[in-house]
Amino acid sequence: MMKKILISCFVVILAIASLYVLSRETFDRLNPLLSEEYVYVEIVGEPSDDDGRYTYELDGVNEDDETKRVLFSVSTRLEPGTFVRVLAKGRYTKEYEFIEEEDMP
C-alpha cells in the first residue's frame, strides 16, 4: 500500500515538472500563486514565425522597475522601437496594448 502511494506521488510530481518544462506558458496561466502585472517592453530584434503569427520574447520592466521576461504573439510584424504594455502572469500574456514612449515607466 505504501509503495503504491509513493509511486503515485512520484508520477504526480513528474507530471507537474513535465508540464512546467514543456509548456511553461500554460503552467503560468493556471498557477494560482502567480499574480498578473503589467510589463512594459520595447520591440527589439526579430520575432519568431509561428504559423503566421509573430512571437516576441522580450525583457521588459514592471511598475516596480524589476526586469521581467514576457512572451506574446501578434498577427503582424511590429516595427523596432514600438512600445507595448503587456498584462502578464509569469510568461503567459493575457493582453497587450501599444503605448507611447512617455507612458513607459
Give the pLDDT means over successive 10-residue stretches in the chain (105 positions).
Answer: 85 78 66 88 91 90 91 90 92 88 88
The dihedrals phi and psi of 67, each to the nearest 5 degrees, come to -80, 130
Write down the pLDDT at residue 93.
Answer: 85
Instruction: Give the model's pLDDT for residue 4.
Output: 85
pLDDT attached to residue 91:
75
Model pLDDT, residue 42: 95
Query: Strand (E) positions, 28-105?
Result: 37-42, 48-50, 53-62, 67-74, 83-89, 92-99
pLDDT at 25: 66
83 CA to centre of own chain: 17
In this prediction, residue 43 carries a pLDDT of 95
